[in-house]
A = this chain, B = another copy of it.
């Protein structure tokens, strides 16, 4: 008897508890928190550039030898900066966040905070296959998570503006380029051409431009 009554009455407790918290989250604190993580990950990258430990007369050579490390620093800085810009843009049209969006955002931040590690490995081991695969996999994951987040935000009705189907697919297509190139480069590295794999990364700017142009031209791809 008692448990029957409870079954009827007690869900009220849970409802009252849940009602204490807004079901959906305003995105402001989420954005500022994400910004802080982006900013810190970006700034920690410099710690991977090793201070040379050589005789004073050989400092010039040692600094020249540090150039690949500086290159890896600039590359990862650019990756995080581009991710921040995309994050900023996306959240401008997000009206509200739900629990799943918060989780996806944390998945993104996890990969962002992890990035200094593959960067350090890449700057230490240059074009070795495992270093290239680790780096490309990490950056590719960044792109995939963003793609899933964007899909979820639309499906769950979290966006500010109503987006029609064609516009949505246009936007999604533009976000496919980065993961596609990075995941392709993993294959290229695994079959034995890690240096070529790194060079494919340079294809991102022209490929992005091409996809945008094609999309402008018509629905042939969409």
Contact = CB atoms under 8 A, between A and B. Distances in A.
B216 A10 contact: yes
A3 B74 contact: no
B36 A113 contact: no
A158 interface: no
A34 to B, nearest CB: 8
Contact of A113 (B13, B22, B33, B77): B77
A43 B40 contact: yes
Given A85-B102, A171-B17, A110 B216 contact: no
SS class, residues of chain A in contact with chain B: helix
Task: Specify which of A45, A56, A129 lies most central, judged by the most chain B CB atoms within 10 Å of its CB.
Answer: A56
Interface string A210-222: 0010011111100
A59 interface: yes
A148 interface: no
Contact of A63 (B44, B70, B88, B121): B121
Given A42-B37, A59-B125, A113-B43, A218 B161 contact: no
B218 A2 contact: yes
A75 to B, nearest CB: 11
A191 interface: no
Contact of A39 (B40, B88, B164): B40
Interface in A71-111: 73-74, 77, 81, 84-85, 88-89, 92-93, 102, 106, 109-110
Interface of A: 2-3, 5-7, 10-11, 13-14, 16-17, 20-22, 25, 29, 31-33, 35-49, 51-52, 56, 59-60, 63, 70, 73-74, 77, 81, 84-85, 88-89, 92-93, 102, 106, 109-110, 113-114, 116-117, 120-121, 124-125, 128-131, 134, 161, 163-164, 166-167, 170-171, 212, 215-220
10 contacts: A3-B217, A3-B218, A6-B219, A16-B163, A20-B93, A40-B44, A43-B113, A46-B114, A52-B124, A70-B114
